[in-house]
Structure 1
Amino acid sequence: MTAHQRPRQPYEIQAAPRVERYARGWYVIGNTASVTTAPRTLEVFGTKLVAYRGERDGEVHVLDAYCPHMGGDLSKGRVCGDSVVCPFHHWSWGADGVCDEIPYAKRIPDRAVIRAWHTLEKNGLVFLWQDPERNPPLAEQEPEALADWYSPQWTDWAMRAIPIESQGRELVDNMADMAHFGPIHYSTVKSFSNEMAGHKFIQYMVGGHQILTEGEDSLITSVATYEGPAYMTTTMTGAMDGRPMKVHLLVSHIPVDMQRFVINFGVMVRRDPTLDDTANAAMLEAYAEKNVESFQQDVDIWNNKCVIDNPLLCDGDGPVNLVRKWYSQFLTDIAEVKESQVRHRRHTTVEGPTVEEVLAAQCPGPS
């Protein structure tokens, strides 16, 4: 298009005001070691929660943090049995949110109940269920088991918590944003496609990478899967320091409020049987640092970009509007979710070798 053919009016960026509403689904708050019998403060979803592990049942419990008696912060209290005790007047709150003791009262008020949140421990992670309608978790949306985490051939997660000054949708856009992989992630894309169905959105990519591949003919494969609005795991193959690598990445964000979120970023790698535990741990940390370095460039973009509801897209962009339609189901009341938000679709942005073809060439023979 020549200069004189271009429209005279500048493109107007649109960004509608957001009501305070957080997407329905499972959110990672940390790995299993991050919740102990010492109360932990969670500043999420525009409020404060307390997370702790019961002394008797060993389970993770999450309650609203503010005691309705006089406003004490339960996350600054202590765990007693499976209850958490307020530091202000020692009111005790059970794992179900019901007050179970007031040391100086003859009778506990009937209304002495606070919100108890649904939790899940799986894949070495602790999940918290958020639903703006306060409905219980949807059984079909429970995160799938990550078999490798339960295998001694794999390391545990190396975790980082990364604060972001933006909205969670901006992170999810990356699933369809093929064009950012070169400028941000040192990658050359050989093939790129997306698939959505129900609560899942998947990105398939094959490409080169300045850090994670070696030689012009070396390729990485990447399969990134969102299960719900906030829990994304990626399985990648590549190489580092002459050593073939297979890794799982965790990118799970949780909103602090409508303007901020925290990414719980994790890396686990398949152990090298020729290395001892110390060397494998060092390999994990080195790989994690390389990924955090690459990911930090995304963070720099998110912290400085604007929110845009009507992105001006070109024919080389991925299906950004498709991933946004998929994501919108989690902000919609469950009874009003439309078939168009969840039905199965595939979109190929760049034709090329598939993940399956590359993996078969790297490891010929039966899997």
Structure 2
Amino acid sequence: MTVAAKTTQAKREPYQIKTDEREERYARGWYVVGATNSINLKPRALNVFGTKLVAYRGKEDGEVHILDAYCPHMGGDLCGGEVTGNSVVCPFHLWSWGADGVCDDIPYANKIPDKAVIKSWPVLEKNGLVFVWQDPEGNPPIPEQEPARMEDWYSESWTDWEMEAIPIESLGRELVDNMADMAHFGPIHYSSVKSFRNTMEGHQFVQYMVGGHDILTEGDEGLITSVARYEGPAYMTTTMTGLMDGHPMKVHLLVSHIPTDMNQFVINFGVMMMKNPKASKAQNTALVQEYMEKNIESFHQDVAVWNNKCIIDNPLLCDGDGPINLVRKWYSQFMTNVDEVQPNQVKAREHVTMEGPTVEEVLAKQGF
């Protein structure tokens, strides 16, 4: 190495990772709290959005209701109470709170205080899942951002969700980065990417990928197609097709996160599978459980990274990376007040990171 080369190297400054300070604010949108059968007549605690909520199913209307968990009387935890009618009763002094958050009974009082109101959170049951709406401005749900109906869940030709909740010590945005991060599929998920592209418009961001997989497929069993779609900041479903043990398979994955606080989130991970019409109910159940186990094994490679990586707001990117900054620009709309969202946060765009066989072409060859 020449003296001039050494001098040039010495002048190069190390790259400084930037991590911005953040106010406590959670992205606007629908969040999955669990499968529809995870909420019943027993109040369930939800430690989310830096606070505690209580979820329960009304005895009279059969619907899921979510309220702030602490009784403003003396701080009793409604999660330890019981459901009466469509209300939840505090175990401390038996104050009863209706589904709308208004106190509807105090057994020892002649008059209920006018201020006896707690927050009632918007709830949606759809696709076998329970969603809660979070908005830092307190606005009601945006109708056009309601998750689309997943017809397969309502079909007898598909299994129900197999679900698992996975805690992660990181910022939820780090999970969303995966939508554009083509380069991590090889070292983390043992996948060989053949084609990769992203589209975005409004509240949706989609990833189209074709590749192979060393865990989910054995040897050269053919290509896997993957179409992953975010509807809002946290509800992501993926449709995957390919071969498993030589048999065609089609599955839907749920990878939907909900923040515990600004430093932790929980991923509601789910799998549902198109049934094999020639297999028994027990065989189909075993098949989806086997696929769930293989996916969890693969997914935990991501978890190990998230639990140990730093938050980086100025990622140093190269020409082989996917559009990380584009997905972050799209995600930023949910952290922005509604009336301040800019056109470049929601406009239609497409980015092709790797050209190759398209999802549509592979599906046609596989007969899906």
* Alpha-carbon distance in 1 for matches of 2:80, 2:220: 55
Q: Does 1:252 align with 2:264?
A: no
Q: Secondary structure at the match of 1:316?
A: coil
**Per-residue displacement from partner, 1:101-159 (whole Å, max 9, x unpaired)?**
00000000000000000000000000000000000000000000001001100000000
* Alpha-carbon distance in 2 for matches of 1:124, 1:316: 38
Matches within 5 A, 1:255-270: 255-270=259-274
Q: Which residue of 1 aligns with 2:201?
A: 197
> What code does the residue aligned with 1:286 have?
E
Shift of the alpha carbon at 1:217? 6.5
Match of 2:35 among 10, 31, 35: 31
Shift of the alpha carbon at 1:229? 0.1
The TM-score with structure 1 as length reference comes to 0.97
RMSD of the TM alignment (CA)?
Answer: 1.2
Q: Does 1:130 align with 2:134?
A: yes
Q: Is the 8 A contact 2:29 2:334 kept in 1?
A: yes
Q: Is the 8 A contact 2:217 2:245 kept in 1?
A: no
* Alpha-carbon distance in 1 for matches of 2:302, 2:128: 26
Q: Is the 8 A contact 2:215 2:298 kept in 1?
A: no
Q: Which residue of 2 aligns with 1:181?
A: 185
Shift of the alpha carbon at 1:361? 1.1
* Alpha-carbon distance in 1 for matches of 2:244, 2:315: 36
Unmatched tracts of structure 1, length 5 or more: none
* Alpha-carbon distance in 1 for matches of 2:175, 2:350: 20
**Per-residue displacement from partner, 1:227-269 (whole Å, max 9, x unpaired)?**
0000000000022222211000000000000000000000000
Q: Which residue of 2 aligns with 1:74?
A: 78
Matches within 5 A, 1:97-116: 97-116=101-120
Q: Which residue of 2 aligns with 1:274?
A: 278
Q: Is the 8 A contact 1:214 1:239 kept in 2?
A: no
CA spacing shift, 1:99–1:245, aligned 2, 3 Å = same
Q: Does 1:304 align with 2:298?
A: no
Q: Which residue of 1 aligns with 2:164?
A: 160
Q: Which residue of 1 aligns with 2:228?
A: 224
Match of 2:289 among 268, 285, 289: 285
Q: Is the 8 A contact 1:211 1:240 kept in 2?
A: no
* Alpha-carbon distance in 2 for matches of 1:217, 1:353: 16
Q: Is the 8 A contact 1:56 1:81 kept in 2?
A: yes
Match of 2:17 among 5, 13, 28: 13
Shift of the alpha carbon at 1:216? 3.2
Identity in percent: 72
Q: Secondary structure at the match of 1:173?
A: helix
> What code does the residue aligned with 2:47 have?
E
Q: Does 1:316 align with 2:320?
A: yes
> What code does the residue aligned with 1:247 have?
V
Q: Is the 8 A contact 2:221 2:246 kept in 1?
A: no
Q: Which residue of 1 aligns with 2:343?
A: 339
* Alpha-carbon distance in 2 for matches of 1:189, 1:141: 31
Q: Is the 8 A contact 1:212 1:238 kept in 2?
A: no
Q: Secondary structure at the match of 2:333?
A: helix
Q: Secondary structure at the match of 2:293?
A: helix
Q: Is the 8 A contact 2:216 2:295 kept in 1?
A: no
Q: Secondary structure at the match of 2:227?
A: strand
Q: Secondary structure at the match of 1:287?
A: helix
> What code does the residue aligned with 2:331 have?
Y
CA spacing shift, 1:163–1:222, aligned 2, 3 Å = same
Q: Is the 8 A contact 1:196 1:202 kept in 2?
A: yes
Q: Secondary structure at the match of 1:317?
A: coil
Count of residues in Structure 1 that have an aligned counterpart in Structure 2: 363
Q: Does 1:45 align with 2:54?
A: no
Q: Secondary structure at the match of 1:211?
A: coil
**Per-residue displacement from partner, 1:42-82 (whole Å, max 9, x unpaired)?**
00000000000000000000000000000000011100000
Q: Secondary structure at the match of 1:188?
A: strand
Q: Which residue of 2 aligns with 1:357?
A: 361
Q: Secondary structure at the match of 1:300?
A: helix
Q: Which residue of 2 aligns with 1:327?
A: 331
> What code does the residue aligned with 1:294 have?
S
Q: Is the 8 A contact 1:212 1:220 kept in 2?
A: no
* Alpha-carbon distance in 1 for matches of 2:13, 2:113: 64
Q: Does 1:172 align with 2:180?
A: no
Q: Is the 8 A contact 1:67 1:74 kept in 2?
A: yes
Q: Is the 8 A contact 2:192 2:211 kept in 1?
A: yes
Q: Which residue of 1 aligns with 2:97?
A: 93
